[in-house]
Amino acid sequence: MACVALVGRPNVGKSSLFNRIVGRRVSIVEPTPGVTRDPLEATAEWAGHTFTLLDTGGLVAPAGDPFAPLIARAAAARLAEADVAVMVVDGQVGLLPADDEIARLLRRWGGRVVLAVNKCESYRAVPYEFYALGLGEPMACSAIHGDGMGDLLDAVVDAIAAARGAPAAPPPAAEEPGVAEELTEEVADTPFAIPSGPVRVALVGRPNAGKSSLVNRLIGREHLIVSDLPGTTRDAVDVPWQHGEHRFVLVDTPGMRRPARVTAELEKSSVGRALRAIARADVAVLVLDAEAGVTEQDQRIAGYAFERGRAAVIVLNKWDLMWADAEAAKRREAEVRGALPFLAYAPVLLTSARTGRGVDRIPALVAEVAAAHRQRLGTPEVNRVLREATSLHAPPSHEGKAMRLYYATQVATAPPTLLCFVNDAVGVRPDYAHYLENRLRAAFPLAGTPLRLHFRTRRREVRGIRRAPGGPRLRA
């Protein structure tokens, strides 16, 4: 798939243009320069042509920004991977020396460039000064109002075709009716949808826990900006990655501090993106600082993942700083499980993103818990396990009436959810429901995933009643 990179100096509207083209709010938009740090990518479509769009930080970062060299280096690295660059300039401010510098970098790069003059809301005429950049005809547009976007995207598609030395490919043809009908019938025969596609893995935790370092270590290159300063990551960054036969989308999320400490609007927006990343993920990897252990904020983050029904893996990062032995590792793992009892099903890993220790175990473990999260349990096997559980430990009575479990069936995946029919759902005690869950976990591979048990009172069968065809109910 072709790759298009949005480049330019800070605060010219690259993120607004990125959101406009992909059709949703992916990138944070703020009037403050230098908000975008890690390059973001998303799939965009125009007139039947699909391409990958990159939103980069400024190639020339603002003076005094401690992240300036890192942002510029990351933007240059992603530009090298692109087929086409869209240089974004500010039509209201006009041409600045930083624009000239970026234009020189692009001419040295040698690829196809489209010049987009953003913020042309009140007029369509392009200021003649932008022709001096020597990057072809400037395209007037407005990311806020959408003016000129059609002409700009037409130019982008033409540039992609020219960069690849072939005319623009026609839109993909529709599938044959026979294939579509077969797919429809197959879906219709499925009682409930089973998620497919790559596994979305959200790395979540407090600031400076090492989430970006873990992603870089996993994919084997410096893709994300890493700094000792907390709060480096601001966006939820998707990183597609394939490991062996498994396909993942690693989502590096901003660190989440305690709500009382989050005051700036920019940080509130970052935290909101992190929470949405958890809600959209299949697996939440809770990254903890091995030295600090589990804090109250870590418990909040883990609780949010549990409430959303996400599969979970707990990673104790920075273990190389502990200089600890196997006994210390066991004690720390016990402390983690004691502080997060509601994630008792989640495996715990000791890792070091700096040295790579334990990181190679993450892909297989995430794939395992993702498979458990999407698992479909056979109804006969489920009922056999529940019958054995009730025979070993009879359900406690409620108001003098013993609870009876008739049967259970799975009604959803991600997470696996069972509907259990009983004679009185009100009488099911939480401790007995937990006992049934443990018996099911012992019988099925459910490590790393929540298991939801819902109880419903079955309607009593009315005996001695028959219905005359077309008439009212009659007693036999």
Per-residue pLDDT of 177-200, as tens digits, reads 333 333 233 333 345 555 568 999
Specify the pTM.
0.74
| pLDDT per position as a tens digit, 199-230 | 999 999 998 899 999 999 999 988 887 877 76
Average pLDDT over residues 287-294: 92
Within this chain, domains 199-373 and 379-457 share the same CATH topology: no
CA distance linking residue 17 with residue 116, whole number of Å:
10
Helix/strand/coil for 70? helix
| pLDDT per position as a tens digit, 96-131 | 999 999 999 999 888 899 999 998 876 666 678 898
CA distance linking residue 465 with residue 460, whole number of Å:
13
Q: With a cut of 70, say whether residue 358 has pLDDT above it.
A: yes
pLDDT of residue 427: 87
CA distance linking residue 129 with residue 428, whole number of Å:
75
pLDDT cut 90: percent of the chain above it = 53
pLDDT of residue 199: 95
Superfamily holding 3-173: P-loop containing nucleotide triphosphate hydrolases (3.40.50.300)
- Identify the weakest region by mean pLDDT among 21-35, 101-115, 147-161, 387-401: 21-35
Q: Please, what is the average pLDDT of the chain? A: 83
pLDDT of residue 202: 96
Is 70 within 8 Å of 149 (Cβ atoms)? no
CATH of domain 379-457: 3.30.300.20
pLDDT of residue 474: 39
Which amino acid belongs to residue 263? T
Q: With a cut of 70, say whether residue 259 has pLDDT above it.
A: no
If pLDDT is split at 50, 70 and 90, which confidence band does 83 have? very high
Residue 80 CB neighbour total at 10 angstroms: 10
Q: Name the token pair of 207.
A: 């600031």
pLDDT of residue 72: 78
CA distance linking residue 396 with residue 211, whole number of Å:
46
Q: With a cut of 60, say whether residue 2 has pLDDT above it.
A: yes
Q: With a cut of 90, say whether residue 431 has pLDDT above it.
A: yes
Residues 6+ positions from 134 with CB-CB distance below 8 Å: 103, 107
167 preceded by cis ω (within 30°)? no
pLDDT of residue 124: 60
Helix/strand/coil for 287? strand
Average pLDDT over residues 31-36: 59
Fold entry, domain 199-373:
Rossmann fold (3.40.50)
Q: Where are the domains of the chain?
A: 3-173, 199-373, 379-457
